[in-house]
Amino acid sequence: MDFAEPLSYPLKDLKKLVIGGLMVFPRMLLLLIPLIMSWGYMIKVAGDTVKGKNELPEFNDWGYFLTKGLGTILIYTLYGLFAIIITLPATILYFMFIFSLFGGYYTQGYSYTPDTTLMILAMIFYIIAFIPLIVLSIMEMIACVRYGEKGNVGVAFEFRKIYRKFKTNLANYIIGFLVLFGFLLVIYIVMIIAMITIVGILFIGIILFYVIMVQIRMFAQIYKESKVKLDESGESTLSRQETAQSGLSRGDEWKELK
């Protein structure tokens, strides 16, 4: 897996990168339809990558982009709910700690002691939830890639198949996640610097669209590898089954000859 290739992929066509950036930028002005279409374009990139295409798709099917973008909202919403459920115990404990800061329980005069035990427990639960959240975020991206590949949003919720893809190429998914994490840290620093000037703000949409393209390209490439590995595994299993059946057939023929 070439983890550097997704970083250069959006730069293959700067015109399309700018168009995508203009679609993302209006989000700051609460114009959601262009943003939704940019997510649909992301799904198109995922499907094309799995099919072996290495060029950025054309901006020529706006109905497709809007439809797939709406499907992506559904994916983000449901996987977001799973993330909330995972972090719910820690979040409850954290807010209980916040309430203890303002309400507290009085010990002497007007002084009070916040219940630090709640904060400690909240931190412990957040740490415990960290790994499941990473797995969930990777599975969410696999779900988006499958959506682009199959064209049916229902495949994004076939959790057993998604987890199987994740497990088959576990090392590359983790490496890809870490590469993207480091990449995003750099991008956020660049964005903070860009926001200092008005001219820089104009480039934020392009930067955000670039990040979206890198992210989906990375996971689509890894997903494509997962499919190959599963196909090879399936073929070897089938081969063993055919060999066993062939052996049984020869055994039956030998019995008949005897």
DSSP per-residue letters across 222-247: HHHHHHHHHHHHHHHHHHHHHHHHHH
Has residue 102 been placed in a domain? yes
Q: pLDDT, tens digit, for every residue of 94-139?
A: 888 887 776 554 444 455 556 688 888 989 999 999 999 999 999 9
Q: What pLDDT score does 28 carry?
A: 57
Rg (CA), the chain: 25
What rounded mean pLDDT belongs to the chain?
84
Has residue 200 been placed in a domain? yes
pTM over 0.85: no
* Structural domains of the chain, count: 1
Burial of 42 (0-12, 13-18, 19+ CB in 10 A): buried
Q: Which residues pair with 106 in a beta bridge?
A: 112
Has residue 258 been placed in a domain? no
What average pLDDT does the segment 210-226 reach?
95
Has residue 255 been placed in a domain? no
What average pLDDT does the segment 234-240 reach?
46
Q: Which domain holds residue 189?
A: 5-250
Q: How far apart are CA 2 and CA 176, in angstroms?
A: 10
Has residue 46 been placed in a domain? yes
Q: What pLDDT score does 242 carry?
A: 44
Q: What pLDDT score does 249 carry?
A: 44
Q: Which is more confident, 101 or 84? A: 84
Has residue 61 been placed in a domain? yes
pLDDT of 236 higher than 60: no
pLDDT of 227 higher than 50: yes
Lowest mean pLDDT among 10-19, 115-124, 126-135, 156-165: 115-124
In this prediction, residue 191 has a pLDDT band, given cuts at 50, 70 and 90, of confident
Lowest mean pLDDT among 41-45, 76-80, 228-232: 228-232
106-108 vs 111-112, strand pairing mode:
antiparallel
pLDDT of 180 higher than 80: yes
Backbone phi and psi for residue 245, each to the nearest 5 degrees, phi listed first: -65, -40
Query: Is residue 43 within 8 Å of residue 147, measured between CB atoms?
Result: yes
